[in-house]
């Protein structure tokens, strides 16, 4: 197994076995899907009108679906073990 940051997962990792440990729990399963989510923050100065407000990126997190479980709002720098290749059934 190789250990990488969640933010470094690629579509080629889908189908591989992954292991993640968060909050004292370890979960292992086949990676079915993942997505990176960005919280957007409205930035508006007191001298601006509402039309001039801008959306700026905030925190970025990952939502993973592996086997029968889904977990969300995981920081991108969380470490995950990814199998090099799964055995052929």
- Is 10 inside any structural domain? yes
Task: Give residue-wise pLDDT tens across range 8-64.
Answer: 999 999 999 999 988 888 888 899 999 989 999 988 777 777 777 888 898 888 888
Alpha-helix runs per DSSP H in 2-74 = none
Output the six-digit token pair for 14. 């889908």
- Is 88 inside any structural domain? no
Number of domains in the chain: 1
- Is 87 inside any structural domain? no
3-state secondary structure of 13: helix
The residue segments making up the domain with residue 61 are 2-82
């Amino acid at each position: 197994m190789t250990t990488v940051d969640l933010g470094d997962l690629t579509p080629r990792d889908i189908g591989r076995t992954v292991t993640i440990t968060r909050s004292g729990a370890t979960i292992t399963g086949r990676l079915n899907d993942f997505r990176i989510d960005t919280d957007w923050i409205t930035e508006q100065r007191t001298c601006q009108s509402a039309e001039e407000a801008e959306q700026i990126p905030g925190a970025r997190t990952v939502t993973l679906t592996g086997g029968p479980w889904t977990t969300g709002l995981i920081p991108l720098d969380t470490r995950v073990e990814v199998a090099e290749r799964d055995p052929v059934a």
